[in-house]
Structure 1
Amino acid sequence: MTDKPKLLIYEEHTFKVGDDTFIDSTTENNNTVVFEDNCETGYFYAIDRNNGLQMLDGLHIYNVANITDKQDPCTLKILWTEDLTKAFLSINNYYHAVFDFKNKAGYCRNAFPNPNSTWTKIQERKLTDTLIEELARD
């Protein structure tokens, strides 16, 4: 028997890539993430809600022009670990990004952009399936 980590779905929405989309998720401890598709790119942001909605970090998810099936609806989920310190972005049941508020880290599949020096405490931002399992378990 495997002990699968429990992730809690805080947001679940259907959207189309390339449509103006803004989905936020705030936990009880005020950790906040936002997914935004501005019709050109998709980004996932970590937000400091206690400091006037300051953006802490941003992760590139996709360029709309590179998505071949953008006419099809997508299911977006924002999931949090039980301790509410890590947020996972899932689109069509595939994890694209994770923010770890406790360790001040952000990871995405293409590791873009480079980490900023004010909040992010890690240099390697590449999200892998192995890292997802580790982050969900911690």
Structure 2
Amino acid sequence: MSIYKSQVVGFEQTFQIGQDAYFTSVAPVSSFVVSFEDDTETGYFYSVAVGEQITILDALHIYNVGDVIHRDKPCKIQIMWTEDGQIASLLINGYCQAVFDFSQRAGFCRNNFPENKGVWKQTGSRLLTDELIAEIFSKQS
């Protein structure tokens, strides 16, 4: 049984790591928004609030372009949402890199960086592990 069974694709595209890219996805049944950005040096995943102004709620570091071994090969990026629109996950080549849980106001990524200084002042660990992914998505069943 896949932990992603209750998710829907919010965005999917092939892209080249290290090339300027910005992708946005809106939750299927809520007004939550996430964005992924590769500014040619780093990759970041953001949770954002859209109103009169765009406010970054949280930012998660995904990679430094110079550290990605196969950056010369195209890869597939997916932004997935739970059916209730409460959880967004970022997958690169099918591997979950980051998760935003809007109901908990928390973000998690594989390298636990950076400390959140945004609107969501998360105090616990931000480290995304396979065990944490299973825990987050077991609540969605």
TM-score w.r.t. structure 1 length? Answer: 0.93
Structure 2, unmatched stretches of 5+, are: none
Deviation per CA, 1:77-129, whole angstroms, max 9, x where unpaired?
A: 00001110000000000000000111100000000001226323342100000
Contact kept? 2:9, 2:80, Cα under 8 Å: yes
* Residues 51 and 125 of structure 1: CA distance in aligned 2, closer, same or farther (over 3 Å): farther
The correspondence of residues 13-92 of structure 1 with structure 2, limited to 5 A, is 13-27=13-27, 28-92=29-93
Q: Give the equivalent residue in structure 2 for 1:11.
A: 11
Where does structure 1 lack aligned partners over 5 or more consecutive residues?
A: none
Deviation digits for residues 39-60 of structure 1 (CA, Å, limit 9, x no counterpart): 0000000000135111111000
- In structure 2, distance between residues paired with 1:102 and 1:44: 17
TM-score normalized by the length of structure 2: 0.91
CA separation in 1, counterparts of 2:96 and 2:35? 15
Work out the percentage of aligned pairs sharing the same amino acid.
41
| 2:37–2:43 contact (8 Å) kept in structure 1 | yes
Q: Number of paired residues?
A: 137
Q: Distance in 2 between matches of 1:120 and 1:78?
A: 23
